Amino acid sequence: MQKYEATELPSALNKIDQLLEGKKPAVFLDYDGCLSPIVQDPNKAFLSEAMKTTLRQLADVCSVAVVSGRDRADVEKLVGLDNLYFAGSHGFDITGPGGMQTEPGDASRALPALDKAAETLHERLQDVAGVVVERKRYAIAVHYRNVTDNQIERVKVTVDDVLHEHEELKKGLGKKIIELKPNMDWHKGKAVLWLMNELDLNKPEIMPIYIGDDITDEDAFASLQEQKYGLGILVGEHDDKTAATYRLEDVDEVRQFLEKLTQTVK
């Protein structure tokens, strides 16, 4: 599998025809940092009206799914559109039009460990100013964006200690976030491939496109690259090399790209 520096990637913005190769797109997108800017308070990561309109119009002409680390119900509420598919908790909880509702990956087995780990983290980090321990259905997100530099290492060590107490869980990294997730072979990439199979998108005339900004999106980029079809588009950059092959600068460029994509498909 090939990986690149984000700065090496060409922009996808004005290459719609080249990217599609005459095919119809199927679009998968992360939420935070992709559809909505990263903000200090995750509860205030709202979708702009312009982006919402763009997503609605795109979903009228091709399959569109939001694949997020957020709880599925949370991201579904933030987007507020009923013609999209939603894969929450890194793909452990999926819903969509036509009554689709499934929880692939068998993550329910990890729920007791997640409950106990969340309780322990709240107890051990309660005196760390700025830390947020967010309990999701199938994950725990420890946000340290607002923690002072001299306390960040303590947060990281505490998370590692709790992880060692629960073999049912594994670590996931994001931008100023550490996640505790079910220790199972399931991630955003597998969720994308599951959706493609379920929606009958594994066809020569379909071009899967995954757009994301974070390290957790690398599983989806890698899955498409390993399938030898489809493409990944990185928004901005993160701390590692990427399996994406194109780049967009920010949320505004994502909106512009999706608008051009809609016009091309029409």
- CATH code, 168: 3.30.70.1020
Q: Is residue 240 within 8 Å of 232, Cβ to Cβ?
A: no
**80 and 193 together in one domain:** yes
Alpha carbons 33 and 251: distance in angstroms, whole number: 7
Pairing mode of beta strands 177-182, 206-212: unpaired
- pLDDT of 43: 79
- pLDDT of 239: 84
Q: Which domain holds residue 196?
A: 6-105+186-265
Alpha carbons 183 and 136: distance in angstroms, whole number: 15
Global pTM exceeds 0.95:
no
**Catalytic choice (17, 30, 239, 240):** 30
pLDDT digit string (tens) for 209-247?
999 999 999 999 999 999 888 999 999 998 899 999 999
**201 and 75 together in one domain:** yes
Question: Is residue 240 among the annotated active site residues?
Answer: no
Alpha carbons 259 and 223: distance in angstroms, whole number: 25
| Total count of domains within the chain | 2
- pLDDT of 107: 80
Residue 227 amino acid letter? Q
Q: Which residues of the chain have pLDDT under 50?
A: none
- pLDDT of 201: 96
Rg for the chain (alpha carbons), in Å?
18
Alpha carbons 17 and 252: distance in angstroms, whole number: 20
- pLDDT of 31: 97
Both structure tokens of 129: 């100013």
What sign does the dihedral 89-87-97-211 (CA atoms) show? positive
**131 and 233 together in one domain:** no
Instruction: Tell me whether residue 1 is in a domain.
Output: no
